[in-house]
Structure 1
Amino acid sequence: MAARPQPEAPLQIDALGVAGPYRSRTRAPLTAVSGAPIGEISQAPALFVRRTLAAMRAAPVIPRDERLTAMERAADVFATGTLGGFDPDGYVELVSTTSGVPRSVVRQSVEWITDVLRSQREVLDLARPTGAVGDWRDGRTHAGAAVWARRGDLLAVHAAGNTPAVHGLWPEALALGYKVVVRPSSREPYTAFRLVAALRAAGFPPATITLLPTDHSVADVLISESDFAIVYGGQDVVDKYSAIPTVLPQGPGRSKILVTADVDWRDKVDLIADSVSHLGGTACTCTTAVLVEGDPAPLAEALAERLGRIPSLPADDPRAILTVQPTASVVEIDRYLHRVAGEARALLGGDTIVDELPGGGAVLRPAVHLVDTATAPQLGVELPFPCVWVGPWQPSDGLAPLRDTLVLTAMTTRGELIDALLDEPSITNVYVGDHPTTWLRPGVPHDGYLADVLMRTKGMIRSA
């Protein structure tokens, strides 16, 4: 990444290969939310990608302690360093201006990624099976033990651009000894560039961590020719890759909150609203459905009032919470919302969610809709802004309305219900009580530990 862009020197995002930066002949434009040109991003061709993957496979694996020490150094470099000509404030400004993500969200994401990098020693210990050792040199292998070992060597990351926080997942693979190749989002490639540059500056050789921006056809080469891949996208991405065991799709979270009759929801409204609007409502952990035992209308009305108070501000305003996008994109999302809402009763955002800004682009305003039943199809609709569907639930509805959920916050005191939620395979995480669906902490799995997919145990016994 070149120095801070000037009109006469547009920003260039180059590929970061094993031999250093690579600027391809084919480049795609980078623009601000207003539509103003910012610069260009290289589009690495398939031949360059294949040569890079081959060189990465041939590279030696860095010893565990060296990896973890380098990751701890990288946390400081990422958070405080000047990388590609951008200091931390310049980086935050760039991301906000070009992607429409509020500055406060960018800063929260930086804190999250930094915590992830600093926590990998603990994370690996927590993820490893208690009966396994992390190194064959451990004395327990003399008597026979399980050794934790990688299933492959190379992980590809097809990243998203909704928030920088998506880059808090894949560093676990680097800590495990995988070589990682990141294909950044063309909407927001700056965090991926900054993180890869920080890891290299902290001691990771270029052959262990690369940045390969590509078009969609070449992205398929990355996915098919790596041992494993993380792929972000909508339901279409999940449908495309869910049957491939080496691909971990990161699609809609459809995170939910359940409030049972034994809990008074009236002092939970702020928590629920924050679960909906955190990170601009763009994260897979943001609440998209609230189910209430009893009449859901009073909660829905209170939630609409609370979310309606969030101001519409430019993304570079330090008080901004809501995401800004090009006006045409927001108008299209608004049209889609009106189509899928159907007979649902709009309490907020029913007229429009489009709020144009004088400087260009439009804010995605929150929306709250009330549905009649726990089986309403809208409860499964997730959109990239604070959009929530509120409906009724009763014990006779069972777990069916709660399935296919990344995070379920259960505001309940019923132990048997909590047991059932934990036993339901399609509910990934269960938070009980006053915890937003957006709560995260390094060491607590998000979609399981990444190591669940990338690692295995091997039996070993040795004489010397």
Structure 2
Amino acid sequence: MRERATLGALGADGEYHTRRRTDLTSASGEKVGELSLVSPLYVRRTMAALRQASVPRTSDRFAMLEKAADLYLNGIVAGLGADAYARLVSVASGVPLAFVRSSATGVAQALRALRHTAGLAMPRGAVAEWDDLRTAEGAAVWTRKGEVFAVHASGNTPAVHSLWLEALALGYKVAVRPSTREPFTAFRLVSALRAAGFGNDTVALLPCDHATADVIIAEADFAMVYGGQDVIDKYAGDPRVLPQGPGRSKVLVTKDVDWHEKIGLIADAVSFLGGTACVCTTSVLVEGDPAPVAEALAERLSRIPTLPAEDPSAILAVQPRDQADRIDQYLRNVAGGTRAWLGGDRIVDELPQGGAVLRPAVHEVHSSDAPQLNVELPFPCVWVGPWAPEDGTAPLKDSLVVTAMTQDRQLVENLLQEPSIANVYLGDHPTTWMRPGVPHDGYLGEFLMRTKSMIR
């Protein structure tokens, strides 16, 4: 029998179960739990409590974050051990079990690393504490721009929760609105943080509907919001909100590099986390004929087996059948005018126990400005197209990551100077490469902190 979980909100007075709840279901439609949904009034009261709460000392914060890492990764939290938690996340989200476990390990590593990484965004000329000896002669002090930080989390993988933890390390009080698709990670993480010593009025979990979610942002000083292009557009004019939208991560291979040696690396980056992450490679641009690259990628990706998400060998994500059909139809519409090397007929592979696996797709586009190169879908879908030196960086704009497989130093310089490219990796570092302390899309501290001059 599968584990079930009835999750409440985690407010300033502890766990709170409401009459209004939403069912949590697996990809096959099986109910795996319930989630309480809070009202705007409850949100306002909780956010007011967070605003009034005192901030734990810096050394205490780091010690509590490290303790929370062990509780989250290995402990029994809200009655669930680590294995039961991972399986529940896999069943609810459709993310392969192996990726759930590796993502959870990544969250724990991020927690443990914060003692060393939280201050990396601080300018070299600044000090972390006002009573530092250097302020006696005058110095810049690294200070918060606000008190309360809100997070609208996605349910892609547990890994999304590794980013907002920096706010706690910096002394912010944090309110998390979890995904209604996969709230288990947010609940487990907030519970672990509280068990490690953070007060109920320091970190909160506020599950709610979309209208109430806007109240959370309105009551916070700053917020980080996950979503699609619609979310990016909605908050584009709000300097208090840091949107986390589509990654549109790309690979560029120039003619001075043998692409044959890179196919395995690129294919793995396309299928990483079942193709659900913003760092997954969604487009490959090739100097020369893109067809052989598309063919080789299709052959490599076609080998991935169709398996239930809970299978330890699973790589591909599972979706409810109706949602998988909608994605399949959207792909068919958007891929018009391209050449399908894989997934041209259908990408939906039904599972006997319910739900459907989204099989990989590889399409060749005919120009470096094809609109498909900026289409990102929640499964291993990659567009392969031509690139020429005269195209420059234009086809690579608006990318979270660009992996440049090239020997052209000027091209690398141009990619680094392009404002709409967040990260540039070279050679055999795939778009999915990550490490604590190396920013995902800039340091969160750049958004939440500022310097103030002080002399005493």
The normalised TM-score by structure 1 is: 0.97
Residue 30, structure 1, aligned to residue 24, structure 2: yes
Equivalent position SS for 2:105: helix
The one-letter amino acid paired with 1:247 is V
Of residues 273, 284, 289 in structure 2, which corresponds to 1:290? 284
Does the 8 A contact of 1:257 with 1:411 survive in 2? Answer: yes
Residue 260, structure 1, aligned to residue 254, structure 2: yes
Of residues 5, 11, 15 in structure 2, which corresponds to 1:11? 5
Of residues 411, 416, 438 in structure 1, which corresponds to 2:405? 411
Match of 2:74 in 1: 80
Match of 1:270 in 2: 264
Of residues 150, 164, 185 in structure 1, which corresponds to 2:179? 185
Equivalent position SS for 1:425: coil
**Cα deviation digits, residues 99-146 of structure 1 (max 9, x gap):** 111101101111110110000021123221111000001000000000
The one-letter amino acid paired with 1:189 is P
Residue 248, structure 1, aligned to residue 247, structure 2: no
Match of 1:149 in 2: 143
The one-letter amino acid paired with 1:357 is L
Runs of 5+ consecutive residues of structure 1 not aligned to the other structure: none
Matches of 2:198 and 2:92, distance apart in 1: 29
Match of 1:106 in 2: 100
Match of 2:436 in 1: 442
The one-letter amino acid paired with 1:302 is A
Matches of 1:281 and 1:5, distance apart in 2: 26
Match of 2:120 in 1: 126
Of residues 54, 61, 64 in structure 2, which corresponds to 1:67? 61
Within-5 A mapping of 1:32-431: 32-431=26-425
- Residue 307 of structure 1 deviates from its aligned partner by 0.5
- Residue 243 of structure 1 deviates from its aligned partner by 1.2
- Residue 163 of structure 1 deviates from its aligned partner by 1.0
Matches of 1:17 and 1:124, distance apart in 2: 26
Equivalent position SS for 1:119: helix
**Cα deviation digits, residues 263-293 of structure 1 (max 9, x gap):** 0010100000011010111100000000000
Equivalent position SS for 2:119: helix
- Residue 39 of structure 1 deviates from its aligned partner by 2.4
Equivalent position SS for 1:413: coil
The one-letter amino acid paired with 2:383 is W
Matches of 2:417 and 2:195, distance apart in 1: 44
Runs of 5+ consecutive residues of structure 2 not aligned to the other structure: none
Matches of 2:314 and 2:426, distance apart in 1: 29
- Residue 25 of structure 1 deviates from its aligned partner by 1.3
Does the 8 A contact of 1:344 with 1:369 survive in 2? Answer: yes
Matches of 1:38 and 1:303, distance apart in 2: 37
Matches of 1:284 and 1:49, distance apart in 2: 29
- Residue 32 of structure 1 deviates from its aligned partner by 1.4
The one-letter amino acid paired with 2:88 is L
**Cα deviation digits, residues 327-369 of structure 1 (max 9, x gap):** 1100000000000001010000000110000000000110000
Matches of 1:347 and 1:119, distance apart in 2: 42
The one-letter amino acid paired with 2:104 is V
- Residue 11 of structure 1 deviates from its aligned partner by 2.7
Equivalent position SS for 1:206: coil
The one-letter amino acid paired with 1:99 is S
**Cα deviation digits, residues 200-233 of structure 1 (max 9, x gap):** 1111111100001001100000011100111100
The one-letter amino acid paired with 1:228 is F
- Residue 5 of structure 1 deviates from its aligned partner by 6.7
**Which stretches of structure 1, 4 residues or more, deviate above 2 A after TM superposition?**
none
- Residue 73 of structure 1 deviates from its aligned partner by 0.8
Matches of 1:33 and 1:264, distance apart in 2: 41
Equivalent position SS for 2:49: helix
Matches of 2:396 and 2:32, distance apart in 1: 43
Change over 3 Å in CA distance of 1:186–1:142 after alignment to 2? same
Does the 8 A contact of 1:5 with 1:11 survive in 2? Answer: no
Match of 2:448 in 1: 454
The one-letter amino acid paired with 1:141 is T
Matches of 2:325 and 2:411, distance apart in 1: 41
Matches of 2:187 and 2:99, distance apart in 1: 18
**Cα deviation digits, residues 234-281 of structure 1 (max 9, x gap):** 000000011100000000000000000100010100000011010111
